[in-house]
Copies of this chain bind each other. A is one copy, B any other.
């Protein structure tokens, strides 16, 4: 086994999985999906389908308990997602309502534990520049990824490394990579809401549509 790839079912992580499979072959890649109390299961269903598409081993992890004290609005039992822009939210409270506390730190640590357990020596995740912009999602920054890589490397007895192939490119660059790799983007889900079709209006829908446009393509998803 070579790599454990965090797979949420969104566009970025699907592209990340495609890259890992291109490099190592599907028999050497494990896809890891985490449930941590999300309000809807859409993304997770997509993750399972994408893993099946690529023929990789698929592991699910229930981490709901870890986030049960959080008031993040992506999580079950908490209020509605803040419709204000990230900039307005940041100015108001120095964070955004959709930041899941240290989520990527928790997921990467869990992935490192699993990598050690299944004999893989890399953990991959699909964070990119746009996620980290304005410190909105600090656990997507290059600085965080660099330190986390060192922590995983040292703490695993120098057996596991972190690989973040998109940390220096933006979402449009991720889509460019994915188009080259023929990622089945119609199988992915990015929308914060859990409707039958993606809403096309929330922050993550807008970013996604833009990233396709920047590549002169249309998003294959059918929006509301």
Contact = CB atoms under 8 A, between A and B. Distances in A.
Question: Which of A95, A112, A152, A154 counts the most chain B CB atoms within 10 A?
Answer: A154
A109 B113 contact: no
Given A69-B118, A113-B106, A114-B69, A144 B155 contact: yes
A121 interface: no
Contact of A144 (B102, B108, B118, B151): B151
Contacts of A63: 66
A148 B155 CA distance: 9
Contacts of A110: 66, 106, 109
A182 interface: no
Nearest to A106: B109
Q: Give the size range of A's interface with the partner.
A: 35 or more
Interface stretch (A18-26, A135-143, A194-202, A210-218): A135-143
**Copies of the chain in the assembly:** 2
Contacts of A148: 147, 151, 155
A59 to B, nearest CB: 8
A81 to B, nearest CB: 18
Given A102-B109, A139-B156, A148-B155, 10 more contacts: A66-B114, A101-B112, A105-B113, A105-B152, A105-B156, A106-B109, A106-B113, A109-B109, A144-B154, A147-B148
Interface of A: 59, 61-63, 65-67, 69-71, 94-95, 99, 101-106, 108-110, 112-114, 116-118, 135, 138-139, 141, 143-144, 147-148, 150-152, 154-158, 160
21 contacts: A63-B66, A67-B113, A69-B117, A70-B117, A71-B117, A101-B117, A102-B112, A102-B116, A102-B156, A103-B113, A105-B113, A105-B155, A106-B109, A108-B109, A138-B155, A144-B154, A147-B148, A147-B151, A147-B155, A148-B151, A151-B151
